[in-house]
Amino acid sequence: MSSEAHCEVPLPGLPPLAEGSRGADTTVASAATGTAPREAPRESDHAAEQISRLQREIGELRRAFAELELVQSLQRSISERRDTAGVLGQLLGACGQIVELCGGAVFLTVEGSGELTIGAEDRLTESQRRSIMLMAEDGILDWGIRAGRCTIVPDIAGEGQGSRVNFVIGPMVAGSERYGACVLATERSADAFVRQELDLIEVLCGQAAVALANARLILRLEKERNKSAAILQSVGVGLFTVDRDCVTTSANSAAEDILGFSAEEMVGGHCRTFFDRPFCGTSCILREDTPDRADLEATLAHKGGRAIPTIMTAVKLRDPDGRIVGAVETFKDITDLKQMTDRLRHLSAYNRNILESMTAGVLVVDLDFVITTINREGERTLELEPGSLENTPIYDIPALKEVSRELAHMLATAHSRSREELVRQEVTVLSGKGRRIPLGLSTALLRDEDGEITGCLGIFRDLTEIKKLEEQTRRAKWLASLGEMATGVAHEIRNPLSSIAGFVDLLTEELAEGDPARPYTEIMQSEIERLNNLVSSVMAFARPPQPELKMGDLNALLRRLAVQLERDVAARHARLELSLSPTLPAFAFDSGQITQALINLIRNALRAVEPGGAVRLVTALEFAEQEVAAPPVWASDHGAPKARANRVAIHVEDSGRGIPEAIRDKIFDPFFTTDRQGGTGLGLAITNRIISEHGGVINLVSEVGVGTRFTILLPLRLRSEPGESA
């Protein structure tokens, strides 16, 4: 059909040409066919022709504006729909305003496969449906879509109907994407269509394709949004998002549970609403100069007012141009973790206090023989630097060579041991100061709650004191036996000695002065006296009298002794110095026995010093846990044990030759002496016995060429008890 014919036949739904324009045409036709036309001037005919042409152009413009208005109205109607069914229904309705329809259908391309399926239809007869389905099966619809222009196809399955139907295929294409085709059934013949009508259908189909693309995109976005929302709601941590102004834009259910606020209460409010200490200033995640991610501990505020400790991760959100548009912040309530950590910390401190208060050393190694725990007593026992052993392989510590061997044996034989088996043995180690220390060692396996071995435990104790106590006990038994024997021997000696002394006295009386035999009898009397003194000393050692404890002033006793021994001191050309504690109180002791013990020590000291040397007497109070200056005699000079609480210390020091290490353990043995001038060797044995009977101890420190110090430690009894003995 020509454009002129197109102009004469208005499209359905479009307004007809204005009456004025049609009147002008009629007027022109009447002037040409009237019965008595008046000859018009040539100028008038030309003006009428111009007017007629202008009227036709005005009609064309009106028609174009009407078409444009219709298309825009239909485009708005289609584009406003976001559901597929609504878009397709609007498309069929819009096309019905352009072409007289007897039915229609819209085919959609299935995403991914490219197959066509009916998305909507309107007033199709069975015959028309069959025809359309045949076109789909034969690829005609796909061909029409690929053509990209409206195509008119005759009914190929009309089956002899009275009126023949043609189908207009409108491709639904947006960009390079093919979304389907709109198939319109009309009784118009193919040559009755004008290009403008087909162009309008193409425009509407293209608009529908864009709407479908938007609808599908919106659907995918909704699905992604719903999926993201479901994920965010299902995560076990609190989550909220904020915009560039720190205004909360979303919050999940976990955040609601943790903070006590509903999502509606949080969204739209500033994040400081639930920050106990808001992230402002230089730490704000929304600042340009802060990292894109921050992991930190933050305290949030519950709706009820309580503070909630959390572990938080904040991440910046940026748009495609890299501008910060907000942040997402996830957080986990660590209240229970904090409480558990505090309980574990308290439990650890409690267990550590138990370990540190134990009087035995405790050592723990893992399966790699790395020391994980050692207490203070263990370090002290081994004489090692505090804090120097933990996280150190036990094999790297010479002092623990024997201990490591036992622990290795314990682990090597673990399969044959019960869970609670404790193995005890004695080992000797070399301390950090080079001293050999006997240890009582107990080892056991460490297991976790599943019974798996995680390491080995060693508990050890310094047996030095016990060994020395055992030696003391053995020596005491030996001395007791020796004393019993000495008592019997002394008794047997004293009886005939008394008779001999009597006969010598008679013989001396009968001899006249100047008798040549008299000097011999006097020598006999002197030796008998010396022998009698020896017997008395043996008796005193074997059966010492029980001390009579009476309140006394020890300092005063030492001053009297200094006066009493002035001749002995002068004979040695020595000095006797006193350094007495002014705070020493009166206490209960046997002054006679303590005097005898001190005289023995002072005379030994005087014999040890060279002319011009000095002997010094010192008194002091020794309190609980205070280190005694000198160890017991059986400890030699290797160290000093701790004295018991509230003791009186008496130090007898000399600047003499010192006692060789080889004989230090023997000096308290009965009859042991280095005195070449006739000493009996019972003085120090008796002194030791006296101090022991008082419940005290006597210690010795000596260095050859420097001097010797004896320390007597006596219990500080602040009241006397009649008949009390040590």
Question: What 3-state DSSP class applies to 81?
Answer: coil
Tokens 């420190």 sit on residue: 701
Q: Structure tokens of 656?
A: 């003499």
| Proportion of the chain in helix, strand, coil states, percent, rounded to 5 | 45, 25, 30
Q: How far apart are CA 692 and CA 677, in angstroms?
A: 28
What pTM does this model have?
0.43
Q: 357-457, what's its fold?
A: Beta-Lactamase (3.30.450)
Domain ranges of the chain: 1-80, 101-216, 237-335, 357-457, 468-541, 545-715
pLDDT along the chain (726 residues), means of 10: 33 36 34 44 72 76 66 61 72 80 86 81 85 86 86 70 77 85 87 82 84 82 79 78 88 87 87 63 76 86 86 89 89 87 86 82 87 86 82 82 81 70 81 84 84 86 82 72 67 72 79 80 78 69 74 92 89 90 90 88 88 91 51 35 65 88 76 62 78 86 89 84 47
How far from 391 is each of 16, 352, 360, 394, 404, CA to CA, in Å?
101, 16, 21, 9, 15
Same topology, domains 101-216 and 237-335? Answer is yes
Q: 101-216, what's its fold?
A: Beta-Lactamase (3.30.450)
Contacts of residue 667, defined as CB under 8 A and 6 or more positions apart, other chains included, come to 633, 659, 684, 700
The whole-number pLDDT of residue 65 equals 66
The whole-number pLDDT of residue 13 equals 38
Query: CATH class for domain 545-715?
Result: alpha beta
Neighbours of 514 (CB within 10 A): 6
The whole-number pLDDT of residue 1 equals 35
Nearest alpha carbon to residue 199 among 151, 140, 153, 165: 151
Cβ proximity of 443 and 422 under 8 Å: yes
Q: 237-335, what's its fold?
A: Beta-Lactamase (3.30.450)
* Long-range pairs for 476-480: beta carbons < 8 A, 24 or more residues apart: 479/670, 479/685
Strand order in the sheet with 103-109: 116-122, 103-109, 177-186, 166-174, 151-154
The whole-number pLDDT of residue 557 equals 93
The whole-number pLDDT of residue 272 equals 74
Pick the CATH number of 468-541 from 1.10.1740, 3.40.50, 2.40.50, 1.10.287: 1.10.287
